[in-house]
């Protein structure tokens, strides 16, 4: 009897210990809050599940189409046949959604992707109340919001909170390999300084308003076409391009925006959207009143989604440009062009018709592919293959194409899981690199200053 009693006590103790351990694991989980989702990126963060993230996500938003479209996308991920997610959305809808979120404190990470006019304020209030913030770009769309964002970063540091933006393009394989080859002096040499007329680094991005996301035609919110709410193109997509220039050209280095950045010239232009095109994208039959100031001839909406600027980052000349069209011609898609000019070779990413609108990386030696350069490249590719097994080289007339195995070719949507995992690592281990925050500040200074200059230019 005594022995049985001891065994029973041991079993109870073990059960209590297991329960305590389970409770501890649950308390350590990241608990997501989605605040006022208005951009499809808010849903893409939840296209995958994460080990350290609670499956219950609290959503706070005003009533309307934006939040409903968000919830429909989450449900589509939960109900898909292959590898369905298991998110449970607990939703609060009402005009006081922000105050409700701040008072209830149902999570520890606020996820933001929506109206960019409101985003900096949402970030500010979330950090002030002790939430970590994981935000879609851009976190600032003009000089005023940039100044506010700087102060928020200081507040986050003081409170030991993580404020981080979603830079998916760092996880595109051709961009990763472009950076990798640029770090091999025997192949790339050193980065040229360039000039304003012939920059050392150029990054160009072409996007389309009408597009498919997760297999369906994307419904755009009407405010997306108001640059006062979405931000002009020169401060939106260019966030990625400026980030990549910093990340590739000055890896692991802190950029001081006060002394390292100088905008030399900047321009902006509109994309004309007809009412029928607007209807196809928004499912709304008339332009809202707040868009009327951009409408010409009663039916043409002028959206300042295009921009280009040249700037110096330290002593390197760089150029960034973004263009938006209504819809990609049949068989085409969004495209990205990037060149890093080295003293020994240029590293070029192309994504045009010759590449079947899939990005491809080329190594083009200065002065042609000599036997000496070929020998060095063939020796150094072995180092790249240790990190990226299966990557090969294909000889072309001007140089080489870098052949990338299919296993590395993930979609833009898949990159959201990669950057989210990096955010979760930083949050859990407190190991965010010293350069990340100052370089986020430098990035938003660059884009917002470029906008200021473009508005002053004819």
How does pLDDT run across 189-200, given as a tens digit for each residue? 999 999 999 999
Q: pLDDT grade, residue 288 (50/70/90)? A: very high
How does pLDDT run across 396-442, given as a tens digit for each residue? 988 999 999 999 999 889 999 999 999 999 999 999 999 999 999 99
The lowest-confidence range among 54-63, 213-222, 236-245 is: 213-222
The total domain count for the chain is 2
**What integer pLDDT is reported at residue 331 of this predicted model?**
77
- Same structural domain, 156 and 226: no
- Same structural domain, 138 and 225: no
**Contact in structure between 352 and 233 (CB atoms under 8 Å):** no
Tell me what the mean pLDDT of segment 346-367 comes to: 94
Whether residue 227 is contained in a domain is answered as yes
Which residue range forms the structural domain that includes residue 175?
A: 169-456
Question: Domain holding 438: CATH number?
Answer: 3.30.360.10
Give the C-alpha separation, 406 to 294, whole Å.
44
Question: Domain holding 47: CATH number?
Answer: 3.40.50.720
Domain's final residue, options 113, 137, 165: 165
Q: Please determine, for residue 334, whether its predicted confidence score (pLDDT) is greater than 60.
A: yes
Tell me what the mean pLDDT of segment 300-313 comes to: 97
Give the whole-number percent of the chain exceeding pLDDT 70. Answer: 94
Whether residue 71 is contained in a domain is answered as yes
Domain's final residue, options 133, 165, 197: 165
- Same structural domain, 99 and 195: no
- Same structural domain, 234 and 114: no
Whether residue 8 is contained in a domain is answered as no
- Same structural domain, 179 and 322: yes
**What integer pLDDT is reported at residue 27 of this predicted model?**
61
- Same structural domain, 179 and 36: no
Whether residue 17 is contained in a domain is answered as no
- Same structural domain, 122 and 67: yes
**What integer pLDDT is reported at residue 457 of this predicted model?**
83
- Same structural domain, 129 and 265: no
Give the whole-number percent of the chain exceeding pLDDT 90. Answer: 87
Q: pLDDT grade, residue 282 (50/70/90)? A: very high
Q: State the pTM of this model.
A: 0.92
More confident residue, 412 or 26: 412
Whether residue 24 is contained in a domain is answered as no
**What integer pLDDT is reported at residue 379 of this predicted model?**
95
How does pLDDT run across 3-24, given as a tens digit for each residue? 544 444 455 555 555 555 555 4
Whether residue 386 is contained in a domain is answered as yes
Domain's final residue, options 165, 182, 210: 165
Give the C-alpha separation, 255 to 235, whole Å.
19
Q: pLDDT grade, residue 314 (50/70/90)? A: very high
Q: pLDDT grade, residue 368 (50/70/90)? A: confident
Q: Indicate the average pLDDT of the chain.
A: 93
Whether residue 112 is contained in a domain is answered as yes
């Amino acid at each position: 009897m005594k022995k049985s009693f001891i065994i029973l006590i041991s079993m109870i103790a073990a059960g209590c210990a297991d329960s305590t351990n389970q409770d501890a694991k649950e308390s350590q989980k990241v608990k997501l809050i989605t605040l006022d989702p208005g951009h499809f990126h808010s849903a893409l963060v939840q296209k995958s599940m994460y080990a350290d993230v609670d499956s219950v996500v609290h959503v706070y938003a005003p009533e309307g189409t934006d939040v409903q479209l968000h919830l429909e996308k989450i449900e589509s991920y939960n109900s898909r046949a292959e590898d369905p997610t298991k998110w449970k959305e607990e939703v609060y809808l009402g005009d006081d959604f922000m105050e409700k979120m701040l008072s209830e404190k149902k999570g520890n990470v606020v996820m933001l992707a929506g109206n960019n006019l409101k985003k900096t304020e949402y970030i500010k209030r979330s950090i002030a109340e002790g939430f970590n913030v994981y935000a879609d770009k851009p976190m600032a769309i003009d000089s005023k919001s940039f100044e506010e964002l700087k102060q928020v970063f200081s507040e986050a540091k003081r409170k030991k909170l993580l404020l981080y933006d979603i830079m998916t393009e760092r996880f595109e394989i051709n961009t990763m390999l472009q950076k990798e080859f640029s770090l091999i002096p025997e192949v790339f040499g050193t980065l040229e300084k360039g000039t304003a007329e012939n920059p050392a680094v150029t990054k160009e991005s072409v996007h389309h308003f009408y597009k498919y996301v997760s297999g369906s035609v994307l419904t755009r919110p009407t405010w997306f076409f108001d640059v006062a709410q979405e931000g002009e193109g020169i401060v939106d997509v260019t966030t990625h391009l400026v980030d990549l220039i910093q990340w590739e050209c000055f890896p692991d280095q802190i950029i001081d925006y006060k002394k390292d950045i100088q905008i030399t010239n900047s321009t902006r232009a509109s994309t004309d959207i007809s009412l029928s095109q607007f209807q196809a994208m928004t499912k709304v039959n008339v332009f809202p009143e707040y868009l009327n100031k951009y409408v010409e001839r009663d039916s043409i909406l002028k959206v300042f989604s295009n921009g280009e600027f040249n700037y110096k980052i330290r002593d390197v000349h760089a150029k960034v440009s973004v263009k938006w069209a209504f819809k990609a011609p049949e068989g085409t898609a969004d495209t990205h062009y990037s060149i890093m000019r080295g003293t020994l070779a240029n590293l070029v990413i192309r994504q045009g018709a010759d590449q079947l609108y899939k990005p491809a990386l080329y190594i083009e030696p200065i002065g042609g592919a000599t036997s000496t350069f070929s020998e060095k490249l063939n020796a150094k590719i072995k180092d790249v293959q240790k990190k990226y097994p299966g990557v090969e080289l294909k000889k072309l007339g001007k140089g080489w194409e870098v052949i990338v195995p299919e296993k590395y070719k993930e979609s833009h949507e898949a990159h959201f899981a990669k950057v989210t995992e990096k955010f979760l690592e930083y949050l859990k281990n407190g190991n965010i690199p010293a350069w990340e925050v100052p370089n986020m500040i430098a990035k938003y200074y660059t884009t917002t200053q470029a906008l200021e200059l473009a508005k002053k230019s004819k």
